[in-house]
Structure 1
Amino acid sequence: MDTIEQFIEKFSNAVDFQKPVEITATTELLSLPEWDSLAALGVIVMCDMEYSKTITGDNLVTCRAINDIYALVC
């Protein structure tokens, strides 16, 4: 199982931010400049590929912060 720091690194790669963004476990998704449907799709794919966990857009809607997604998959 990955640590939250490892998860954040994979999350950042999945979202593919154009400019560096500081992310912590408590960073709210809606505060991220590039958090949109394409970013959410990247996170869904990352969760499936890296963690063999299937999450949906509905799951992500209930997540407010990075640690909420982490709790779903780890």
Structure 2
Amino acid sequence: MNTAIKDWTIQQALYHSKRTVLLAIIITMIIGSGVRFILLDDNVMNMLPKNIDSRRVWDEIVDEFKYS
């Protein structure tokens, strides 16, 4: 079964190369148009809910030693 799917995929790519390239370009454009909406935040504290104890304690520590 696995080799049948693999053989079919290879034959499609080889015998219909224009369609394969066009499909790859379309998929790349779709993914590329959605990438601009992905936001990455490297601050782990922003991922934690504000109502858990560890977040509250950390916020207190930051407030206390903010200017030192």
Q: TM-score, normalised by structure 1?
A: 0.22
Q: Find the structure with the greater CA-based Rg.
A: 2
Q: Which has the higher contact order (CA 8 A, sep 6+)?
A: 1
Compare the two structures and name the one with the higher helix fraction.
2
